[in-house]
Chains A and B, each alone.
Chain A
Amino acid sequence: MLQDKIQDVFNEPGCATNQAKSAKEKKKGCTKSLKPGAAAGGCAYDGAMIVLQPIADAAHLVHGPIACLGNSWDNRGSQSSGPQLYRTGFTTDLSELDVIGGGEKKLYRAIKEIVQQYDPPAVFVYQTCVPAMTGDDIAAVCKFATQKLGKPVIPVEAPGFVGSKNLGNKLAGEALLEHVIGTVEPEYTTPTDICIIGEYNLAGELWLVKPLLDEIGIRLLSCISGDGRYNEVAQAHRARVTMMVCSQALVNVGRKMQERYGIPYFEGSFYGVSDMSDTLRTMARMLVERGADKALIDRAEGVIAREESRVWRRLEPYKPRFDGKRVLLFTGGVKSWSMVSALEGAGLTILGTSTKKSTKEDKERIKKMKGEEFHQWDDLKPRDIYKMLADNQADIMMSGGRSQFISLKAKVPWLDINQERHHAYAGYDGIVNLCEEIDKTLSNPIWGQVRQPAPWESGPSSTLMAAE
């Protein structure tokens, strides 16, 4: 049952926060209860889509009324080097009659149509609130469809109202563990096969990292799920080492793969020079520990040395330009600590970061890096941020798209570092991209112009004086 699964996900031994809780607290789970009238952020279904939709050759079918897909499709920057089917939005678009009479038959017909018309390697079916309330059994329909149509049809049971995006990430992970991972055997395996979990290839970021792995001799067997292919994800159980990118979001997948298949996992980040190097080092070391050729470590060190000297050389011109520039980071989770190190490496001063969505470990990590003095805002209201920016306490804000207007309306430069961004910031090249974007924004001539008062707002203005 869904409730059991949620309990199981909440009771995560791989999560230190959870282990520190009493039995009663554990039962309550890790989602903070949302405050009506003062809540923001996506639902569990949103979270599940984020994790699975980048599997590019699969069809993704949303079982629900139009709101769940109609308002949200085609809005993420996850890229594919081949198949584009994942960008097609499929929904059963439940009507009043389906609410009354049940939507199971319609769901089956929809799956059948998709399989017949598009012939994808698999169909993911997403449960949403309304059919969850009326009692549509999507697991049964998927099972039936799998037998009838001879294609894997995977139920993803994460209706929105069960909780937050983060919970949805984990439930999507459960769906992979239960129905996908371990169902396909790779043609061949190597001692350097790895699986990366929680990398979604936004703006093509994975492609800044993969060439380095290729060069070192590490084979990316499976990525969950950036630029993903269904069969590659299904082969993840043959990886020798797992890397978890988005710290806690999919920790259940990493841990259960360790439990079931004995694959060790580590947490890493592709953001920032030192984090990127650490990641490559750890990856190589762990593969060698599992029996890969020792030369792997030397090759990794070689690539790291070359890339580091190259990246520092390329960052040098930015340093005097960034001197004294203050950054306000407004993001959550893994990005809060990985971005901090990335930006400081480029000579920027970080004022502080919001930690609303971060886990306890994320916060500890920042504290260790930056000391107690560093600001970590737990619940920063938009109005407070606006005030800080309007009072010239920061030179640039970096955040997700939804909070951009806090910064832009205060007439302060802003940079998108979330899922809708158009530039790739991962890896060594990514950090140079990031600095270039920051520099472009900071040095744009509009800031001086837009801050000028209107002709009717001031007396004899300074520009008039200058003209005389």
Chain B
Amino acid sequence: MSHIQRFPSAAKAALTNPLKMSQPLGAALAYLGVDRCLPLFHGSQGCTAFGLVLLVRHFREAIPLQTTAMDQVSTILGGYDNLEQAIRTIVERNKPAMIGVATTGVTETKGEDMGGQYTLFRQRNPDMAGTALVFANTPDFAGGFEDGFAAAVTAMVERLVEPSPVRIPTQVNVLAGSHLSPGDVEELRDIIEGFGLSPIMLPDLSLSMSGRQPTDFTATSLGGVTVEQIRAMGASAATIVVGEHMRVAGNALELKTDVPSHFFSRLTGLEATDKLVRLLMELSGKPAPARLRRQREALVDAMLDGHFFYSRKRIAVALEPDLLYAVTGFLTDMGAEVVAAVSPTQSPVLERLKAATIMVGDHSDVETLARDADLIVSNSHGRQGAARIGVPLHRMGLPMFDRLGAGLRVQVGYRGTRELLCDIGNLFLAREMDHEDHDEAGESHGCGGGSCGCNAV
């Protein structure tokens, strides 16, 4: 799916300042949204160490992540022994409810048969039957972060969810894509609960990655959707699928359980949120709660107040595909022009982007394309390039290691859209005010002599 070349990639051989992150890392994040889970990378220990550091820096949280510690010999002879030993050690030491395995470039180049290894492990270790095991194929050399996240969610659906003879009319599933922060997931839960429905989020990062204060040190994830809840997803009245990369998992869930799924390409923006609210009203048979109505009014008001500063602004956006879609969609909704949309990987969602230039590339491509832009929206890795060309950077996505509270930002629903609208709008507003001040005083300012279009010298 992700290998089809729909959009031009940069023709260069040296990827420079990568925007892309690897598949296993995405899988690890998905597994971290499951309660008492320990993600396990089937590969060399370095694969785990790098991923761990990146997630620690973004979330400012302890990240449970283990490795099968493949060395040269086990790589050539086959990694089953390492995998078995790792799982046994983890179960004995940490007693997790679930172990989520993600393969890496090392084991995928060898071509380890993960399906066969799962069966073999279960046969040889009947004493471990109480621990849920999920395997996902996530080679480093194909796809990227979002694909790995999707692979892990699909694997959890296929391995754990069971069809149910009964329907619980107030229970809904949410397949929450990797572009939703823990804060976004929390916001979605609030919205859905406001209609008297009880959501099961898969994965649920809002319960595990939102700054928990444990009473004891745990080597597994603390909080998240439980394995029992995942198994019970078959009894839900509906599934809300958020993001293009969750579509495969959504289809798998529907095929397995007959729970009808409703697809949302994004939940940022007025109309996008309206669509969700309409569905929730239909599913619950209840009117929208007063709080949500007030939030919608506040968003409409913010759009009226803020559109002045967005109109025809030239913005370059470089993010993971589904977040890229949500952000470019929101920006064009507000009247801005997306001059460049850069994605780290191919994705079907790129076809629906509204942008002057759409490409698969890296931060150095952004640096080239955004030279005369008013704003860049990207992750923290974009800061070097943005500084070099003197364009302000609004940080979104992952990793965001130079801002506090990266995990708890909200940009879905009426409230989240309004927050995003104000955050970005304030950057434009600050610039305009600065220029007015400087124009009056006739002094120079930080743009380096009119490069931003001001009159200052």
**Which of A46, A64, A87, A130 has most B Cβ within 10 Å?**
A130
Cβ of B71 < 8 Å from any Cβ of A? yes
Closest to A3 in B: B72
Contact A405 B22 (CB under 8 A): no
| Contacting residues of chain B (211-244) with chain A, CB-CB under 8 angstroms | 213-214, 216-217, 219
Contact B22 A36 (CB under 8 A): no
Contact B46 A89 (CB under 8 A): no
Contact A89 B16 (CB under 8 A): yes
Contact B45 A34 (CB under 8 A): yes
Contact with A75, one of B3, B54, B85 (Cβ below 8 angstroms): B54
Q: How far is the CA of A71 from the CA of B401 in the complex (A)?
A: 13
**Which of A44, A66, A74, A133 has most B Cβ within 10 Å?**
A66
Contact B89 A65 (CB under 8 A): no
Cβ of A114 < 8 Å from any Cβ of B? yes
Closest to B54 in A: A71
**Which of B14, B40, B68, B381 has most A Cβ within 10 Å?**
B14
List of B residues within 8 angstroms of A35 by Cβ: 69, 85, 89
| Contacting residues of chain A (400-453) with chain B, CB-CB under 8 angstroms | 401-402, 405-406, 409-410, 420
Contact with A95, one of B51, B109, B141 (Cβ below 8 angstroms): B141
Closest to A59 in B: B14
Contact with A46, one of B50, B105, B140, B214 (Cβ below 8 angstroms): B50
List of B residues within 8 angstroms of A38 by Cβ: 66, 89-90, 93
Closest to B383 in A: A74
| Contacting residues of chain B (107-165) with chain A, CB-CB under 8 angstroms | 109-110, 139-142, 144
Contact B71 A162 (CB under 8 A): yes
* Contact flag A37-B72 (CB < 8 Å), given A96-B3, A99-B109, A133-B109: no
Cβ of A23 < 8 Å from any Cβ of B? no
* Contact flag A73-B17 (CB < 8 Å), given A43-B45, A163-B71: yes
List of A residues within 8 angstroms of B12 by Cβ: 110, 113
List of B residues within 8 angstroms of A75 by Cβ: 53-54, 57, 401
Interface string of B276-311 (1 = CB under 8 A from A): 000000000000000000000000000000000000
List of A residues within 8 angstroms of B110 by Cβ: 133
Contact with A37, one of B21, B86, B104 (Cβ below 8 angstroms): B86
List of A residues within 8 angstroms of B219 by Cβ: 382-383
| Total number of residue pairs linking A and B with CB closer than 8 Å | 209
List of B residues within 8 angstroms of A99 by Cβ: 109, 141
**Which of B46, B49, B364, B401 has most A Cβ within 10 Å?**
B46
Cβ of B332 < 8 Å from any Cβ of A? no
- Tell me, rounded to whole Å, the shortest Cβ–Cβ distance linking B168 to chain A: 30
Cβ of B318 < 8 Å from any Cβ of A? no
- Tell me, rounded to whole Å, the shortest Cβ–Cβ distance linking A441 to chain B: 16
Contact B106 A133 (CB under 8 A): yes
- Tell me, rounded to whole Å, the shortest Cβ–Cβ distance linking A126 to chain B: 12
Contact B106 A161 (CB under 8 A): yes
| Contacting residues of chain A (164-218) with chain B, CB-CB under 8 angstroms | 164
List of A residues within 8 angstroms of B18 by Cβ: 66, 69-70, 73, 89, 91, 93
Interface string of A131-143 (1 = CB under 8 A from B): 0011000000000
Contact B49 A67 (CB under 8 A): no
- Tell me, rounded to whole Å, the shortest Cβ–Cβ distance linking B359 to chain A: 15
Q: How far is the CA of A402 from the CA of B49 in the complex (A)?
A: 10
List of A residues within 8 angstroms of B52 by Cβ: 402
Interface string of B1-44 (1 = CB under 8 A from A): 00100000000111111101110110000000000000010011
- Tell me, rounded to whole Å, the shortest Cβ–Cβ distance linking A279 to chain B: 31
| Contacting residues of chain A (26-60) with chain B, CB-CB under 8 angstroms | 33-46
List of A residues within 8 angstroms of B70 by Cβ: 161
Cβ of A322 < 8 Å from any Cβ of B? no
Cβ of B431 < 8 Å from any Cβ of A? no
Cβ of A88 < 8 Å from any Cβ of B? yes
- Tell me, rounded to whole Å, the shortest Cβ–Cβ distance linking B396 to chain A: 17
Cβ of B369 < 8 Å from any Cβ of A? no
Contact A37 B90 (CB under 8 A): yes
Q: How far is the CA of A194 from the CA of B303 in the complex (A)?
A: 64
Q: How far is the CA of A195 from the CA of B71 in the complex (A)?
A: 34
Contact B67 A36 (CB under 8 A): yes
| Contacting residues of chain A (83-112) with chain B, CB-CB under 8 angstroms | 87-96, 98-99, 106-107, 109-111
Cβ of A19 < 8 Å from any Cβ of B? no
- Tell me, rounded to whole Å, the shortest Cβ–Cβ distance linking A113 to chain B: 5
Contact B89 A110 (CB under 8 A): no
Contact B68 A46 (CB under 8 A): no
List of A residues within 8 angstroms of B13 by Cβ: 92, 106-107, 109-110, 113
List of B residues within 8 angstroms of A67 by Cβ: 21-22, 24-25, 47, 50-51, 104-105, 140
Q: How far is the CA of A70 from the CA of B13 in the complex (A)?
A: 15
Contact A92 B45 (CB under 8 A): no
- Tell me, rounded to whole Å, the shortest Cβ–Cβ distance linking B83 to chain A: 7
Contact A70 B22 (CB under 8 A): yes
Contact with B15, one of A41, A93, A382, A402 (Cβ below 8 angstroms): A93
Q: How far is the CA of A420 from the CA of B85 in the complex (A)?
A: 32
Contact B106 A113 (CB under 8 A): no
Contact B45 A160 (CB under 8 A): yes
Contact A386 B22 (CB under 8 A): no
Q: How far is the CA of A443 from the CA of B56 in the complex (A)?
A: 26
Contact with A34, one of B71, B87, B140 (Cβ below 8 angstroms): B71
Closest to A450 in B: B213
Cβ of B342 < 8 Å from any Cβ of A? no
List of A residues within 8 angstroms of B68 by Cβ: 36-37
Contact A160 B86 (CB under 8 A): no
List of A residues within 8 angstroms of B47 by Cβ: 43, 67, 160
Closest to A133 in B: B109
Closest to A69 in B: B18
Interface string of B72-92 (1 = CB under 8 A from A): 100100000011011111100
Contact A74 B381 (CB under 8 A): yes
- Tell me, rounded to whole Å, the shortest Cβ–Cβ distance linking A33 to chain B: 8
Cβ of A17 < 8 Å from any Cβ of B? no
Q: How far is the CA of A387 from the CA of B216 in the complex (A)?
A: 8
Contact with B14, one of A96, A110, A134 (Cβ below 8 angstroms): A110
Cβ of B437 < 8 Å from any Cβ of A? no
- Tell me, rounded to whole Å, the shortest Cβ–Cβ distance linking A63 to chain B: 10
Q: How far is the CA of A161 from the CA of B70 in the complex (A)?
A: 6
Closest to B51 in A: A71
Cβ of A276 < 8 Å from any Cβ of B? no
Closest to B14 in A: A110
Contact B217 A409 (CB under 8 A): yes
* Contact flag A114-B14 (CB < 8 Å), given A36-B89, A71-B25, A409-B62: yes
| Contacting residues of chain B (303-359) with chain A, CB-CB under 8 angstroms | none
Closest to B381 in A: A74
Contact A34 B69 (CB under 8 A): yes
Q: How far is the CA of A121 from the CA of B228 in the complex (A)?
A: 59
Contact B46 A130 (CB under 8 A): no
Contact A402 B106 (CB under 8 A): no
Cβ of A129 < 8 Å from any Cβ of B? yes
* Contact flag A89-B17 (CB < 8 Å), given A37-B86, A66-B22, A130-B105: yes
Cβ of A68 < 8 Å from any Cβ of B? yes
* Contact flag A409-B15 (CB < 8 Å), given A36-B69, A161-B75: no
Q: List 30 A-B contacts (CB under 8 A).
A: A36-B69, A36-B83, A36-B86, A37-B90, A38-B89, A38-B93, A39-B69, A65-B22, A66-B15, A66-B20, A66-B144, A67-B22, A68-B46, A73-B18, A74-B381, A88-B16, A88-B17, A98-B141, A99-B141, A114-B14, A160-B46, A161-B70, A161-B75, A162-B72, A163-B71, A382-B217, A383-B216, A386-B216, A401-B57, A402-B53
3 closest cross-chain pairs (CB), A and B: A43-B46, A37-B86, A37-B89
B interface residue numbers (CB < 8 A to A): 3, 12-18, 20-22, 24-25, 40, 43-54, 56-57, 61-62, 66-72, 75, 82-83, 85-90, 93, 104-106, 109-110, 139-142, 144, 213-214, 216-217, 219, 364, 381, 384, 401
